[in-house]
Structure 1
Amino acid sequence: MNTHQPTPRPATLLPGRRGLLLSAASAALLLAGCAAPDTLAAQARAGDNKNYIAGDGSVSEYATGARGAAVEMSGVLYDGTAVSSAHWKGNVTVLNVWYAGCAPCRKEAPDLEALHQAFKDDGVRFYGINVRDTAATAAAFERTFGTTYPSLNDSDGGILLALSDHVPPRAVPTTLILDRQGKVAARVLGLAEKSTLKALITSALNES
């Protein structure tokens, strides 16, 4: 009497059943990804070496009663001058995060300079916040695009850390408009359109 038992064979899926399981897995993935995608996070994970996250141009404007505490920061301009947010109280202030190799920064630079010239007699202050360039590189950018407002050297990240409630990490360019109390009245995440930025500055100026 032969008592030898046949060796079990690995289970195989019929084509139809395999398709059903794959469909179920796909459905589970789709359900897991129903939340709206975080485009900034996606760019951060992309690993494409462009070294900046291009914002989507979204504009956030905050009602006076909904603004947080006044921005508190300090830094040093490329010429060595120390600057503090305490010096800006009483003035509308525009802060633009940039660096020379960022394509959107290059595109918006002439518009920022034009607005600087248009509003300087109203007391509006413009400051760049450069997140990586040497003084020579920043100066070359300013000559190329004709920007005359000063920039803070933030290669150590201290200013962005102070602004972390308002500026996502590596989101360059970002532009903040501060009201006369130093609170963030508006933010443009990404390339700032000239007409939009002009309207936001005008709105902050017109506040009582």
Structure 2
Amino acid sequence: MGEKVFCSGTYIGQFESAIRRPQPDLSRLFDQIFGTGQHFERLCGLARKSKHAAYFADAAELETLAKTISEYAPMLVPGLLQTEAYARALISAAQRFEPQKTVEKLLRTRMERQALLTSPTAPQLWVVLHEAVLRTQVGGAAVMAEQLTSLVEAARTNRRVLMQVLPFEAGASAFLNGTTRLCW
């Protein structure tokens, strides 16, 4: 089938084993080749529905496919390393006008992503945290103490996690204006 749609067999296999979701244009091509009306296109639409917000769905998918994730975090602990209490405080602050049910759903989704770091195919995670991440109080002193302890524990016990801290004394950097993530 890969030859008919100009894709490798490995790429097609990733669809078949639910590792990857097909793009809409490829689904339309499958429908054309197999004469299935809009069957594959409809399935693609269903498969592309994500638990994640539309702006983050592709990034979440890339996380699951990546061998290595390198992330610079200037203000917040990356989602893959957040404790539940820290994540709840962030989500509650960002979704201040949403019902608690929405906050809890977003929290569950964020926490589920963390299973990636303990899976057999876990990527290497290299995180550079700006010192501000460690000093900004999110959720109060107890929440921050738990979060900092969790970061230290992840760095000590997970051989696939490397954390570094960029101190305030380093001054301005090119990426200071926002989170930067590379997945490959």
- TM-score, normalised to structure 2, is 0.26
Question: Higher strand proportion, which one?
Answer: 1
- TM-score, normalised to structure 1, is 0.24
Question: Higher helix proportion, which one?
Answer: 2
